[in-house]
């Protein structure tokens, strides 16, 4: 796999933490060169230095909700490295709150980052890829792209949209030499909720150990080399998507039942059997 990515040029949004930072490190280790995008210039510069400096990494502060900034990122990537082989649309924000507890401003921000951000970056990178007659677009979605769950209504909606956009774009680009991947991680050990809107106790189902960002990045590199239309990483995620597709009532019942139990535990401050409430979620006893 390393030889397949040698000298490839990769743009990664949401690059300064979690899956984005792990993917950047993995791509550089595999011999690729990366353009790193996020809003924090300081954190981007630190990551670029860590990855080997200008020869390997280009740091471009970017707000993906602004089309002109996305175009600037693609343009500077072309100027530095000469091409764009892979785009990883990883920037995203979420929430753990009931829909009626979210403000209109918050709701709009989720849509702008999670949906328009993906489209803005795709608009910026796609003309370069089409001229090359090659490229891989990887849109990072979620298991929530298959089943909407309580407390994640807008986040789920945005990930459904990313999956639908990926499906349609894949058909439009058939024959152009450009692959489109909808990449759906499950529960990953990142600080995602530290940057999310959280109102109410947040549960962590704990049915399996969360994936490390390093392992998610390894799987992301594998799909960059051998693209697949849709990738659901975890066994739990595959079970959920299978149930949602073939037994939608059962999937909805399961999601609501767990939500009702966790909601009651939150309200009464009494833990679910076998669990303790902690600041950021549930933890097994």
> What residues act catalytically?
155
Give the start-end residues of each E strand in the chain: 9-13, 33-38, 57-61, 86-89, 95-96, 135-140, 178-184, 197-198, 230-232, 275-278, 281-284
The closest of 105, 125, 109, 25 to 63, measured between CA atoms, is 109
| Alpha carbon separation from 212 to 5, 44, 157, 171, 176 (Å, rounded) | 22, 21, 25, 32, 34
**Which tokens hold the place of 8?**
């490839």
φ, ψ at 151 (rounded to 5°): 75, 0
Name the burial class of residue 85, with classes exposed (0-12), middle (13-18) and buried (19+) by CB atoms within 10 angstroms of its CB.
Answer: buried
The residues facing 88 across adjacent strands are 12, 138
| Alpha carbon separation from 3 to 28, 37, 220 (Å, rounded) | 12, 25, 16
Q: Please, where are the H alpha helices in 133-211?
A: 153-172
φ, ψ at 66 (rounded to 5°): -110, 110
């Amino acid at each position: 796999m390393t030889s397949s990515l040698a000298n490839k040029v990769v743009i990664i949004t949401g690059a300064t933490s979690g899956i984005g930072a792990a993917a950047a490190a993995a791509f550089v280790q595999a011999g690729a060169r990366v353009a790193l995008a996020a809003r924090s210039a300081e954190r981007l510069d630190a990551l670029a230095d860590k990855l080997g400096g200008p020869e390997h990494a280009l740091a471009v502060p970017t707000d993906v909700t602004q089309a002109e900034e996305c175009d600037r990122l693609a343009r500077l990537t072309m100027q530095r490295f000469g091409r764009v082989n892979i785009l990883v649309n990883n920037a995203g924000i979420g929430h753990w709150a009931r829909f009626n507890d979210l403000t209109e401003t918050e709701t709009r921000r989720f849509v702008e980052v999670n949906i328009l951000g993906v489209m803005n970056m795709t608009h910026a990178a796609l003309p370069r890829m089409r001229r090359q007659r090659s490229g891989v677009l990887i849109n990072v979605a979620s298991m929530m792209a298959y089943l909407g769950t309580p407390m994640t209504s807008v986040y789920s909606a945005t990930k459904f949209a990313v999956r639908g956009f990926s499906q349609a774009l894949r058909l439009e680009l058939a024959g152009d030499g450009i692959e489109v991947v909808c990449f759906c991680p499950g529960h990953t050990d990142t600080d995602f909720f530290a940057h999310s809107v959280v109102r109410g106790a947040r549960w962590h189902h704990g049915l399996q150990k969360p994936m490390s960002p390093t392992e998610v990045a390894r799987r992301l590199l594998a799909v960059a080399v051998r693209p697949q239309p849709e990738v659901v990483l975890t066994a739990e995620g595959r079970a959920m998507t299978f149930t949602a597709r073939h037994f939608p009532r059962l999937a909805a019942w399961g999601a609501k039942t767990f939500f009702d139990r966790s909601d009651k535990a939150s309200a009464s401050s009494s833990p679910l059997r076998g669990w303790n409430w902690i600041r950021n979620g549930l933890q097994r006893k």
